[in-house]
Amino acid sequence: MQRAHRPVFLNLARIRFPVGAVASIGHRISGVLLVIALPFAVLALERSLEDGSSLYAFTGWMRLPAAVLAWACAHHIFAGVRHLLMDAGVGASLPAGRASAYAALIAGAAVGLAALLL
Amino acid sequence: MRFRIYRLDPETQARPSWREYDVRLEATDRKVLDALERIRTTLDDSLAYRRSCREGVCGSDAMNINGRNALACITPLEGLSEPITLAPLPGFPVIRDLIVDMTQFFAHYHEIRPYLITDEPPPERERLQTPEERAKLDGLYECILCACCSGFCPSYWWNPDKFIGPAGLLQAERFIVDSRDRATAERLAFLDDVYKLYRCRTIMNCTEVCPKGLSPSRAIEHIKLQQLRRST
Amino acid sequence: MRLFSGQRAFVVQRLSALVLLAFLGGGALRLAFGPPASLDQWQGWVAQPLGAAAVLLFALAVLAHAWVGIRDVVLDYIHPLPLRLTILGLSAIGLALLAAWTTLVLVSHAL
């Protein structure tokens, strides 16, 4: 029986994602950002072991990328800890999972904002 | 009440479209399924959808309602923001309108061998289980295979052919913890695969939308834990 | 392609995460109870074999964790086999180079 290709409904804009999904995609995006930042991290390590040249130059145009990286670090760690706790059985229920997702999102955003303003 | 419904007729349309309806509901129309019937009988009899029990136990009318998967027959109209948007289960091939192809979904169910496997000869009456052993099946046996969960799981969207999905994995867990089953080791070994089980990232979308209040994410976590125990 | 069992990658990801958390926690405590007065103190600590080994372990845990993460992203979204092998291959090489670079930096500083 020949069947024509059937479309699928995957219009992400029309799908209402729960908070856990938002935390999860943030976890993935922050992870990818951190991987991209890895070479710069090794560079920073190298610079820090030489003569400390321009290690703390987070001024001007560097503030925004630095804040984004700060958010990425913080959110990835908070969301990661949330996952490790769920592995251990803590917070695996739906209400607890929602609450911890909100906590991770808010804490990560706070760190990013702080890095931007301070 | 205003509706926006996903329409696709593969015989006349190449691509899907959204149709708007403004339907007059009777006082007795309380659930989304009632509204669908009203639309079909008074406005547009070409609208196609699956339905059967109309009480939330058969799983036929699972669909995406205002962005979340749910059973149309037990989703109240009250509280839904208009226009109420009805779409087929995300990620599933659409046969027509709100009807999706469940072949892949059921294939995954068969894949995990949803039956007791044991060499022991059948006893006189039944294979006995203590109340505690029977209690382990609670939260697992009630699944009606409606696919609300798998249709809301991003990991299942990206790999519907290789990832078993929350529904299949919940049923796998149902048989893994069944004290009468003797194939636990094989079941766990079968699932130890980067695709079958480990596409799950504990997004928990599945548990959010299960109409029976089950938690596939917790079942999957338990499978991973049991696999860990077995390998250490 | 049954190259890797699913569980192995899962364990590497979780284990490396715990190692990283331990280091970050320890580092945070160290910074809270007396931040290094100058860059020399940091450089001095890394010059010692124990300090260098600690930083190296941290770096290797990061790279192992990153590898599992990248692999998950590729397996989820990228399906054509040639593209998949290319990206995974390049990522593996990239991470290996980072490991080599880090080792070089630490060793040359300790000497």
pLDDT (tens place) for every residue of chain B, 232 residues total:
999 999 999 999 889 999 999 999 999 999 999 999 999 999 999 999 999 999 999 999 999 999 999 999 999 999 999 999 999 999 999 999 999 999 999 999 999 999 999 999 999 999 999 999 999 999 999 999 999 999 999 999 999 999 999 999 999 999 999 999 999 999 999 999 999 999 999 999 999 999 999 999 999 999 999 999 988 7
ipTM comes to 0.90
Instruction: Specify burial of residue A19 (Cβ count, 10 A radius: 0-12, 13-18, 19+).
Output: middle
Q: Please tell me if residue C48 touches chain A, with a CB cutoff of 8 Å.
A: no
Answer yes or no: is pLDDT of A1 > 60. Answer: no
Answer yes or no: is pLDDT of A56 > 70. Answer: no
B75 Ramachandran zone, left/alpha/beta (phi>0; psi -120 to 50): beta
Are C14 and C56 in contact by the 8 Å Cβ rule? The answer is no
Percent of chain C with pLDDT over 90: 64
Instruction: Pull the structure tokens for residue B144.
Output: 């009606």
Instruction: Pull the structure tokens for residue B32.
Output: 């989304």
Indicate yes or no: CB of C7 within 8 angstroms of CB of B198. Answer: yes
Indicate yes or no: CB of B85 within 8 angstroms of CB of A14. Answer: yes
CB pairs under 8 A between A and C: 47
Helix C49-77 vs helix C39-47: crossing angle, to nearest 10: 90
> Which of B16, B152, B154 is the closest to A7 by Cβ?
B16
Q: H or E stretch including B80?
A: none
* Beta sheet of B17-22, edge-to-edge order: B17-22, B2-7, B84-87, B62-65, B68-71
**Most C-contacting residue of B157, B190, B198, B225 (CB-CB within 10 A), to test interface:** B198
Rounded to a whole number, what is the distance in angstroms from the first to the last CA of chain B? 58
Indicate yes or no: CB of C18 within 8 angstroms of CB of A84. Answer: yes
**Which residues make Cβ contacts (< 8 Å) with residue C55, sequence separation at least 6?**
A45, C46, C102, C106
Q: Please tell me if residue C29 touches chain B, with a CB cutoff of 8 Å.
A: no
**Which residues make Cβ contacts (< 8 Å) with residue B154, sequence separation at least 6?**
A21, A24, A25, B203, B205
- Token pair 């300090």 is at which residue? C51
Instruction: Pull the structure tokens for residue C69.
Output: 């993460």
Q: Which residues of chain B have a CB within 8 Å of the CB of A83?
A: 202
CA distance B15 to A28: 32
Cβ–Cβ contacts within 10 Å for residue B231, how many?
Answer: 13
**Which residues make Cβ contacts (< 8 Å) with residue B52, sequence separation at least 6?**
B58, B60, B61
Instruction: Pull the structure tokens for residue B49.
Output: 């959808």
Q: Please tell me if residue B101 touches chain C, with a CB cutoff of 8 Å.
A: no
pLDDT value at position C2?
42
CA distance A21 to A18: 5
Q: Is the pTM of this model over 0.90?
A: yes
Coil, strand or helix: which one is C67?
Answer: helix
Are B31 and B77 in contact by the 8 Å Cβ rule? The answer is yes
- Token pair 């709100």 is at which residue? B98
CA distance C9 to chain B (A): 8
CA distance C90 to chain B (A): 20
Assign A53 a pLDDT band (cuts: 50, 70, 90): low
Answer yes or no: is pLDDT of A30 > 80. Answer: yes
Cβ–Cβ contacts within 10 Å for residue C18, how many?
Answer: 12
CA distance B159 to B149: 15
